[in-house]
A and B are shown apart, each in its own frame.
Chain A
Amino acid sequence: MSVRFAMWELHLYLDTHCGDAQAAELLNKYAEKYRELLREYECKYGPVTADDGYGAKWLKSPFPWVNGGSDC
């Protein structure tokens, strides 16, 4: 989830540097990569957000505090 983290770090940076086009472009690049990786991850481990699945699908993989359930 290092791509997710890079996106978040840029998101915070852009709160105080909202005119920085270079950072915005970099964030968009990461976002594109993240969409691909998220699709792969969700195929393997199930939904990450409530919008991506419910019921048995949502509950199939362990919650992230359970050992080994969070490493992605």
Chain B
Amino acid sequence: MFCYEKILQYPINIKKPNPLYAKIIISQYGGPDGELGASLRYLSQRFAMPWGELQGLLTDIGTEELSHLEMIGTLVYQLTRNLSPEDIKKNGFDSYFVDHTTGVYPASAAGVPFTAAYIQSKGDVLTDLHENMAAEQKARTTYDNILRLVDDPDVCDVIKFLRAREVVHYQRFGEGLRIATDKMNEKNFYAFNPSIDKCRK
């Protein structure tokens, strides 16, 4: 089960609203490499993980991604406070505003709604761990791109924290992959899938 802690993983206090930044950053809420996809991916894949280390790793990283989803939602919320009609129009935020006002909706920066097609849960430990390492790098690149487009230090500070977490998660998934291959057939990792096939003795 899940319990809520009434704190953010990293503090966020945006002083200057900026709907253009909100429109860019929403991609990490419901976009193709965003935190919603990340949490659903790991929390779904974990059921097919054959060993405790990997079940723990996916549960814990998937849970942390939920706290990152909350942080991205917080950024979007704080960046869209007290907007004038001119603010909404001049920054291209009008296309988001007409459908969602300033509500936080899981979509990409281009306005494409979130879809589970962004993720995979393949039931194969090697396939899933490789997908996860790639996913962390894709999220890291997205944060790099956000840092290229945003120059408010209050926002960048939070984005840099989230970017660093992608790097740590990539490292941990790499270690998870190593643990998996160490436990599998050294001569042929693909000989069988330990979550469904039994090793013949």
Q: Which residues of A contact B (CB under 8 A)?
A: 1, 4-5, 8-9, 11-13, 15-18, 47-51, 58, 61, 63-65, 67-68, 70-72
Contact = CB atoms under 8 A, between A and B. Distances in A.
B4 A50 contact: yes
A47 to B, nearest CB: 7
A72 B57 contact: no
B4 A49 contact: yes
Contacts of A51: 3
Given A16-B176, A71-B13, 10 more contacts: A4-B7, A12-B172, A16-B179, A64-B7, A64-B8, A64-B70, A65-B8, A67-B81, A70-B7, A71-B11
Interface string B1-15: 001111111111110
Contact of B61 (A4, A5, A12, A47): A12
A8 B3 contact: no
- Among all A-B residue pairs, the 6 with the closest Cβ atoms: A16-B175, A65-B74, A70-B8, A15-B57, A71-B11, A15-B56
Given A12-B168, A67-B13, A71-B13, A48 B61 contact: no
Interface in B1-43: 3-14
A61 B8 CA distance: 14
A7 B172 CA distance: 16
Interface of B: 3-14, 53, 56-57, 60-61, 64, 70, 73-74, 77-78, 81, 168, 172, 175-176, 179
Given A15-B57, A65-B78, A72 B6 contact: no
Nearest to B74: A65
Contacts of A9: 168
Contacts of A1: 7, 9-11
Nearest to B81: A67
A72 B3 CA distance: 20
Contact of B3 (A5, A16, A50): A50
B53 A48 contact: no
Contacts of B56: 15
A28 to B, nearest CB: 18
Contact of A47 (B6, B73, B78, B176): B6
Contacts of B70: 64-65
